[in-house]
Structure formats: structure tokens, C-alpha cells
Amino acid sequence: MAAVSAFSLISSILRRNPQILVEWYFKNETLKDTSRIVKLNTGNDHSLIIRNVKTSDYGFYSCRASNLLGNTEKTIELTAIANPAVFKKESRSTSSTSYNFIWEVDSYSPIIEYQFWFRKYKGGTGGKWHKLYIPSSTDASSPVHTRSFNLTGLNTATHYEAVVLSRNRYGWSHPSEILRFHTEGASK
């Protein structure tokens, strides 16, 4: 089941004036409630539930709210690409020249490979990004894919930053948040 939620701006308009019209749109057409697509309204929260998601469901959904104070619209994309990876706190330096990374990715389609980017980082500026391709090693039966990777050959006492992208059969994910890390001996 996939859920698409409207954002806090719509909720704030609702609090100021409860006389509001909220509509969901897909491909510029108003969505109707069906056995697969359900619009939920709980207080000021407006959500869209899509059951048994099909390829034809992928795309941009808009939630439009209007009342006497004005109109607002928020859009969200339902896609089959993986969510951005999240680095786990267990990532750590394993020697003065290596660092072990652990990340998780949510994807209903198996991950094929990862792009791992890293670079030196000092004083707010970074060097040239180095890109590595890492094959997937996760169990495809779960939507949560966990991967660890030990990066070796780093400089001692040096600060770096890294990002990860994931590819499933639908394409590349957005990059993870940047992880700043350092090898042993670097000042914190």
C-alpha cells in the first residue's frame, strides 16, 4: 500500500477556516474514490491511499485546497525508484586508512547496484568526487535493503564526505544525505 500525504501548509489553512475544498488530482484529472484509491480526511490531515499499486499509478499527484482565504497546492511523486539511502550510525573507522559504511535503502524492487561517491573535505570545501560502483548484496525478498562497504586506501587523519545512490530496474535514486566522516587521528 502506498500513501501520499498533503503538507502542513494545507493543514494551516484548514485551521484558519474549516470551510475548505480539498481535491486530489492525477494527470490533471480529479481522483475519485474507488476500491483501490481512497481519499482519507482525519482532522486537518488529507491523505491518499493507493492499494495494489500498478505501473500506471506512477506519476505526480496534486492536492489542491481552496477556501475564502485563497488556494494552495502541493505535489508529490509516486515512483518505483528506490528511496535515498540512509547511512546507519554503526558506520565507523576501521583503521587509520579505512572506513566501514552501512546504509539502508527502501525499495520494493530489488537493488541492482549502488554508486558510492566520496571526496576529501576540509573547512567547508570539498575536493573532486571519486565514484565507485558497488554490486548489491541484499536479499530481494524484503523492501529494506542493507549494504555495508569497507572503503580502504584513505589518508590518515583526514576528513571526507560521502553519498550513495541506488539503482533498481526503474532507475537511479536521489542521492543520500551527505555523510561527513574522518579516518583515525583526525580532529573532530
**pLDDT digits over 129-150, tens only?**
999 999 997 566 788 999 999 9
CB-CB contact of 64 with 9 (8 Å): no
Q: How far apart are the first and last CA of the chain?
A: 43
The per-residue pLDDT for 122 is 85
Average pLDDT over residues 112-121: 96
Q: What is this structure's pTM?
A: 0.71
Mean pLDDT of the chain: 88
Closest CA relative to residue 159, chosen from 123, 131, 130, 129: 123
Average pLDDT over residues 106-116: 94
Q: Is the dihedral of CA 143, 110, 56, 78 positive or negative?
A: positive
Q: Is the dihedral of CA 97, 88, 6, 173 positive or negative?
A: positive
Closest CA relative to residue 133, chosen from 114, 105, 154, 111: 114
The per-residue pLDDT for 44 is 76
Q: Look at residue 1 and tell me whether its pLDDT is greater than 50.
A: no
The structural domains of the chain, ordered by start, are: 2-78 (2.60.40.10), 86-182 (2.60.40.10)
d(CA 116, CA 149): 9
Query: Which amino acid, one-letter code, is at 58?
Result: Y
Written as nine digits, the cell of 121 is 573535505
d(CA 79, CA 166): 14
Residue 168 — pLDDT band, cuts 50, 70, 90? Answer: very high
